[in-house]
Amino acid sequence: MRAGLETGFDGVTLYPSTLDGPAQRALLTELEAAFALAPPYRPTMPRTGKPWSIRQTNLGPLGWLSGKDGYHYAPLNPLTQTFWPAIPAALLALWVDFAGYEAPPECCLVNFYETDKARMGLHQDRDEEALDAPVLSLSLGDTCVFRIGGFARSDCTKSLRLASGDVLVLGGASRMRFHGVDRIIPASSQLLPQGGRLNLTLRRVTKP
């Protein structure tokens, strides 16, 4: 396995251009078939019920859901009452190559940033039981400005650009760092015909 780029944060490693153009296009074709079964939808915020600026869907045994009543994982898509589509083999292969974890991922959360107005505020990922497992993210489409900080919201942060085909692995203590997506850089990739950015986040949810 090739070496990643250290980001200055222990346990946060960037593997630029891990998927080449043909591999990205092949994966996108598989994802489009999955999206036909589980269409990306606009989730709502806990408490306020305000819609997010991104659309989401899930792949794998468990889907991550946000609703007025909070966040949770569920095996069924609430919009269709069917199981989520399978995680494509190319994504499972990335987990084997880069995560170094004993068990497979259970959730692939898909975040779709349709326009340059979509963003994700600073937050921690803390709804999983297997907090010893890393999180693996693959970016497809337009480049984003990603921000990562410390363990308190007010800690200083650093920006990284995530481009199409890049893999980011968040392991160790960094699993609990605050992070978010500030903006999408329009027309920075040709992969998605309508532009925008897809992020695929693989997570182990339950303890193996």
Q: Name the residues that contact Fe ion, by CB under 5 A.
A: 125
- Least separation in angstroms between residue 123's CB and Fe ion is 6
User: Measured from the CB of residue 83, what is the shortest distance to ligand MD3 in angstroms?
Assistant: 21
| Residue linked to tokens 């468990």 | 62
**Closest listed residue to residue 71, CA positions, set 46, 49, 43:** 46
> Of 77 and 166, which has the nearer Cβ to ligand MD3?
166
Angstrom distance (rounded) from CA 65 to CA 104: 20
Q: Quick one: what does residue 181 bind among Fe ion, ligand MD3, none, with the CB cut-off 5 to 8 Å set by partner type?
A: ligand MD3
* CA angle (101, 35, 147) in 5-degree steps: 55
Cα–Cα–Cα angle for 129, 99, 201, nearest 5°? 65
107, 203 contact by CB (below 8 A): yes
Task: Based on the shown chain and the rule CB under 6 A, indicate whether residue 87 belongs to the binding site for ligand MD3.
Answer: no
Tell which positions 171-200 bind ligand MD3, by CB under 6 A. 174-175, 177, 179, 181, 199
CB of residue 108 vs ligand MD3: minimum separation in angstroms? 10
Give the nearest distance from C-beta 73 to Fe ion in angstroms: 14
Binding mask 134-153 for ligand MD3 (x = CB under 6 A): -x-x----------x-----
Any idea which residue has 């400005």 for tokens?
A: 145
In the complex with ligand MD3, which residue's Cβ is closer, 77 or 199?
199
End-to-end Cα, the chain, rounded Å: 25
Question: Using alpha carbons only, what angle is made at residue 191 by residues 28 and 114, rounded to the nearest 5 degrees?
Answer: 85
Residues that bind ligand MD3 (CB under 6 A): 109, 111, 120, 125, 135, 137, 148, 168, 170, 174-175, 177, 179, 181, 199, 201
